[in-house]
Chain A
Amino acid sequence: MMDTKIQAFFADKQDLLSEILERYPDYGQRSAVMPLLRAVQDAERHVSELRIKEIADILGISATAVKGVMSFYSTYHEQPVGKYHIQICSTLSCSLAGSDEMYDYLANELDLVNGETDKDGQFSLQKVECLGSCTTAPVLQINDDYYENVGKKRCKHLVDSMRENKLEKPWRERKGDHEGAEKAKPLQKTALKGVS
């Protein structure tokens, strides 16, 4: 194969490899398959067949088994994603807060369709299922970070800052008990009957 000249991923990362393997008991080394896939993807934005084989060899299991596991999950990628991998939560709460429109906006703005990476490898766009940020919908996950309560202005701002390679860390803006006991106190006392 042509690829054999590429150095093994973990060849120069023995510390990382042993740190991952040591997390699990001797009889459970196979558990390391997910963190190993993750480590490769974090560095290479996807996991190639060659890396699948490398992980299989490390764990003494078949490459088929590794591929079976990898393909089961939605966050491992066989093809490289962009430097900014933009994931739009599309499930009910986000959808009710406008995530469909947000997707349309981003798709249009970045000229990408769901699952596509641009030719420069800068952006990729993916509709994802519930990210667990329903109370701060709509939410974007850009690479690892959650951007919550993304309105139109914020969305545009995020696109601009990514284009300028100046994406800032996420803000935090949460209601409910996050605001502290005082602020989270009941706002009103409802009548027992009658909803208007």
Chain B
Amino acid sequence: MDNITSRHDPRFEVTMYKYMGVENSHKLDFYEQHGGYQTAKKALTTMQSVDIVNEVKASGLRGRGGAGFPMGVKWSFMPPVDGRQRFIVCNADESEPGSTKDRFVLEDDPHQLIEGMIIAGYAIQATLGVIYIRGEYHLGYTRLYDAINEARAKGYLGKNVLASNFDFDLILHRGAGAYICGEESALMNSFEGYRANPRLKPPFPAQAGVYGFPTSVNNVTSIASGVHIIAKGADWFKSMGTQDSSGFHHVQISGPAVRRGVYEVPMGITYREIIFDLAGGVTEPVKAFIPGGSSCPMFPFTDEYLDLTMEYGVVAKAGSMMGTGGIILIPEDKCIVDALANVVHFYAHESCGKCTPCREGVSTWLPKMYAKLLAGLGESGDLELLEDVSHNIRGRSFCPLADACIMPVQASIKHFRHEYEYIIEHGKSMYAKKSRWQE
């Protein structure tokens, strides 16, 4: 039978997001009433840890944080158990502009994540888990904090979890406003009480992660997907999506869409279906869409790109990235230079300052160039300079943050060069600023 690749497919069922928005969905009682912690029990009492790793590997689940690295393979990089402490870390530092899928799991279904952490911890034989949640997610933090205490009181955490031989506990750690903490090694530095600069790799976290111990760092919805993969099996997961990209993902649509929101979708779905069918179309003419969070190069809003299927390989081949699934629509009459100035400002603000191209290029030079263009002071040669400086930054920085800024810049020039040329020639944007602030 064909795989499920559309939400029109009657076989598709929302799984992870099933109870979002339902009253009290964050409470343990509710979670238990809806089958909560049964999968962890199954895992801990009937499966070997290697079975779980293999099941996740077989499911083809790729990391939902943006990089898309297969989670089961990442787990299998953990060294053999040697008596040292091991850590499973959940990266809940969701900060990529356009992304908000993790937040709702943290706020509305924290136990699902805790159950995922227990299973993941057991899979890699880590007795300590860390959930690193971004500092601004206060509601998520308090709900998770309470949920962990509820779970601990019920024996889901602590010694002999679920009456098994496995000890597991969670450390909930709160960030304080730094996008770079979404990079796993910066996250570990931040967790350990250091400045959140990315670390040199190798060693990779599996060799030397948190406090120098073997560690696996995974995204919220990756970890939570593990619950359902173990509950329903790798084959169920693979019944959705494609060979390259299995299972479901969460798209988050922002910008001028009729029904902005988060949707659980089978991989392989088209962007057209997401934007038009799920989000109900656009509220004003749109010229471009960013497929997976602001670091992903934008696509023109044309048939060619709307008909792309949401698959890691397909999106990459078309010149962008799957990213987090955060889709941002850019209106027809939004000046692209202005839009990119906003994106550049974000990365400039979030640069950690460790390496030269990011500190001096992304954090200093680019915002000044954009400010000059927007002020109508652009001169002939400025676009070429912007392109050349971008070229000098891209692929030269210590971590991917600088590239995350440069790629959208380059994509905007590629697809909307005429808008840059216009602003330089005319000293003003091709489109006047327009308020979109609703009543």
Contact = CB atoms under 8 A, between A and B. Distances in A.
Q: Do any beta carbons of A and B sit within 8 angstroms of each other in the complex?
A: yes
Given A31-B193, A144-B138, A195-B302, A74 B437 contact: no
Interface string B43-85: 0000000000000000000000000000000000000000001
| Size bracket of the B interface | 35 or more
Contacts of B339: 92, 95-96
Interface centre among B174, B194, B352 (most CB of A within 10 A): B194
Given A135-B260, A181-B18, A130 B346 contact: yes
Contact of B273 (A130, A185, A186): A186
A72 interface: yes
Given A68-B195, A145-B139, A187-B259, A134 B99 contact: yes
B97 A91 contact: yes
Contact of B8 (A74, A98, A189): A189
Nearest to A31: B193
A135 B261 contact: yes
A72 B329 CA distance: 32
Interface in B19-54: 20-22
Contacts of B14: 177, 181, 184
Contact of A73 (B135, B273, B345): B135
Contacts of A185: 7
B88 interface: no
Contact of A177 (B98, B263, B350): B263
Contacts of A96: 254-256, 328-331, 334, 339, 436
Taking residues whose C-beta sits less than 8 angstroms from the other chain, chain A's interface range is 35 or more
A98 B438 CA distance: 7
Interface string A98-126: 11011000000000000000000000000
Contact of B328 (A93, A99, A129, A131): A93
A90 B14 CA distance: 32
A98 B136 contact: no
B190 interface: yes
A134 B97 contact: yes
Given A98-B435, A184-B14, A190 B277 contact: yes
Interface stretch (B176-184, B312-320, B369-377): B176-184
Contact of B294 (A68, A91, A146, A175): A91
A37 B260 CA distance: 36
A98 B436 contact: yes
Contacts of B437: 97-99, 101-102, 138, 151-152
Contact of A31 (B139, B191, B277, B301): B191
Given A38-B176, A97-B436, A69 B261 contact: no
Contacts of A178: 17, 20-21, 104, 261-262
Interface core residue of B103, B193, B264 (most chain A CB under 10 Å)? B193
Interface string B202-243: 000000001100000000000000000000000000000000
Nearest to A145: B138
Contacts of A33: 193
A180 B264 CA distance: 11
Given A37-B176, A93-B255, A186 B277 contact: yes
Contacts of A30: 192-194
B261 A174 contact: yes
Contacts of B136: 75, 128, 131-132, 141
A128 B137 CA distance: 14
A74 B254 contact: no
Interface centre among B196, B211, B328, B437 (most CB of A within 10 A): B437
Contact of B190 (A34, A93, A135): A34
A141 B135 CA distance: 12
A134 B100 contact: yes
B196 A134 contact: no
Interface string A17-40: 000000111011011111101100
Contacts of A99: 437
Nearest to A188: B277
Contact of A136 (B174, B258, B260): B260
A38 B141 CA distance: 13
Contacts of A189: 8, 277
Contacts of B326: 134
Contacts of B210: 28
27 contacts: A30-B192, A34-B173, A34-B174, A34-B176, A72-B178, A72-B195, A91-B97, A92-B98, A92-B294, A92-B339, A96-B334, A97-B437, A99-B437, A129-B97, A130-B97, A132-B100, A132-B103, A133-B100, A138-B437, A174-B21, A176-B263, A177-B263, A184-B278, A186-B277, A186-B278, A187-B258, A187-B259
Interface of A: 23-25, 27-28, 30-35, 37-38, 59, 61, 68-69, 72-76, 90-93, 95-99, 101-102, 128-138, 141, 144-146, 151-153, 172, 174-181, 184-190, 192-195
Give the 8 A-B residue pairs with the shortest CB-CB distance, closest first.
Answer: A176-B261, A98-B437, A30-B193, A73-B176, A178-B21, A175-B261, A74-B177, A144-B138
Given A93-B98, A130-B95, 11 more contacts: A28-B192, A34-B174, A69-B194, A73-B177, A74-B178, A97-B436, A136-B260, A172-B21, A177-B264, A186-B8, A187-B259
